[in-house]
Amino acid sequence: MDELISLILDGRVEWYEEIIRRYQHDVLQIVGTLLPDRSQAEELVQDVFVKAYFALPRFQRGSDFGPWIRTIARNTVREELRKQWRYDRRLRTYHEMLTARLADDRRAATDESILMDGLEKCLNRLPKREATAVRMRYREDRTFEEIAVVLGNSIGTIRNLLCRARSRLRECLEREMRRP
């Protein structure tokens, strides 16, 4: 393995395919065990090998490569799970904030109707791609992967698109909710 790593570090990057071939199954097994979403797991496997490639200069020669790359895989999955947890927590917090604001409002009896009307108005003001992505994700309950296929983008692009759309919706809804 040390010779292979030396070749790669000397600029023969095509040899990195051999490392991928040897360890892809192990990495996929670790990632797939911790992330049940197959397409997300496959995407993360690629991230693991990219991280490992850039970390190769720090690999301790003479050590077993398997445990090293498996550690990178586990750490990458943990990082992704933390991101997802923070994202879910932010959504819950935002939902709680909106619910609390509406509960304090003098129109509490009709707040859901007002919120839905405001949301629909704001949704119609979004750029078409953002509105389509929001509808697919939250009305049709589609996965990021399905939305990416329909809109012809990567999953990361869809995540960013939905993040921008939610931010615009939040700002718009706040303005709508202040109106008499």
Return the C-alpha torsion angle 89, 148, 145, 82, nearest 10: -30
Give the right CATH number for 105-178 from 3.30.70.1070, 1.25.40.80, 3.40.50.300, 1.10.10.10.
1.10.10.10
User: Domain limits of the chain?
Assistant: 2-79, 105-178
Q: In which residue are the tokens 């700002």 written? A: 171
Q: What's the token pair of residue 8?
A: 């790669």
Tell me what the mean pLDDT of segment 148-158 comes to: 91
Give the per-residue pLDDT at 106.
Answer: 52
Average pLDDT, the chain: 84
Q: Which pLDDT band, with edges at 50, 70 and 90, does 14 fall under? A: confident
Least confident span in 37-41, 62-66, 96-100: 96-100
Instruction: Pick 104 or 126 by higher pLDDT.
Output: 126
Q: Which pLDDT band, with edges at 50, 70 and 90, does 118 fall under? A: confident
Instruction: Pick 167 or 177 by higher pLDDT.
Output: 167
Most confident of 1-10, 33-42, 154-163: 154-163
Tell me what the mean pLDDT of segment 71-93 comes to: 83
Query: Which residues make Cβ contacts (< 8 Å) with residue 13, sequence separation at least 6?
Result: none
Give the per-residue pLDDT at 128.
Answer: 93
Task: Reply yes or no on whether the pLDDT at 151 is more than 80.
Answer: yes
> Using CA atoms, how far apart are residues 139 and 122, in angstroms rounded to an integer?
15
**The whole model's pTM is what?**
0.50
- The percentage of residues in the chain with a pLDDT greater than 70, rounded to a whole number, is 92
Instruction: Pick 173 or 17 by higher pLDDT.
Output: 17
Packing angle, helices 16-34 and 2-9, rounded to 10 = 110
Tell me which fold the domain 2-79 belongs to. Answer: Rna Polymerase Sigma Factor; Chain: A (1.10.1740)
